Homo-oligomer: A and B are copies of this chain.
Amino acid sequence: MQSKNEPDGQKRSFIEEARRAQIIAAAVQTIASVGFPKASLARIAATAGISKGVISYHFAGKDELMDQVVVTVYTDIAEHLLPRLAEKDTATDIVRAHVMGVAEYALANPERMRTITEIFVHDRDAEGVPRYGALAAEPLYESLETLYREGQASGELRAFDPRVMAVTQQAGIDAMFGYWMARPDTDLLAHARELADLFVRAVRPD
């Protein structure tokens, strides 16, 4: 058996990689449809049409599986978002592109978006401590913070606490998605445009 070896030792076999991808996809689908608390390994296995033991064979445990799901989805979001941000010049335009980019991604990939939200909110270790707590958002906050600071240095943005602005912008985006999930009839892109306006007004000089 070689399932126990991380990418450290040998490379993973083709079939091994395919199974892992299949199981990750089944996990995304299951979590999105029944929510994290009811997405047991048995249920994920059923979604994939395999026996429960296969998951244990290919992943060290549920924790490793969830980690892989998060990495997979995050990479996907970054691939969608980063190019859009790179082509903007001003901080204001980047803020707008950030809000709009996430909304576009969510509209195109609601399953992945819902899954990652579910994992962030619900996944906890044996002691009840969140496995993706405030720490997970930290890199995000830092990059937004850097963006704001540069805009403030150039005089494009007013003086404000960049950390509070970053936390609030991220919260506004998350809430937009949550609201849309609960009320799919609403116009997500219109919400995103309003939200972008809101933050542009919040950061610009008097």
Contacts and interface: CB of A to CB of B under 8 A. Distances in A.
Nearest to A198: B202
A61 B38 CA distance: 20
A128 B160 contact: no
Interface of A: 34-35, 37-38, 121-122, 124, 128, 133-134, 160-161, 164-165, 167-168, 170-172, 174-176, 178-179, 182-183, 190-191, 194-195, 197-199, 201-202
A175 B170 contact: yes
Contact of A183 (B128, B134, B201, B202): B134
A134 B178 contact: yes
For this chain, the copies found in one complex come to: 2
**What does DSSP make chain A's interface, helix, strand, loop or mixed?**
helix
Contacts of A37: 37, 122, 124, 128
Given A37-B128, A194-B160, A197-B160, A175 B179 contact: no
A109 B171 CA distance: 22
A102 to B, nearest CB: 14
B195 A164 contact: yes
Contact of A168 (B38, B182, B195): B195
Contact of A182 (B35, B124, B133, B164): B133
Going nearest first, the 9 A-B pairs with the smallest beta carbon separation are A171-B175, A134-B182, A164-B194, A38-B128, A171-B171, A35-B128, A168-B172, A161-B194, A198-B202
B164 A191 contact: yes
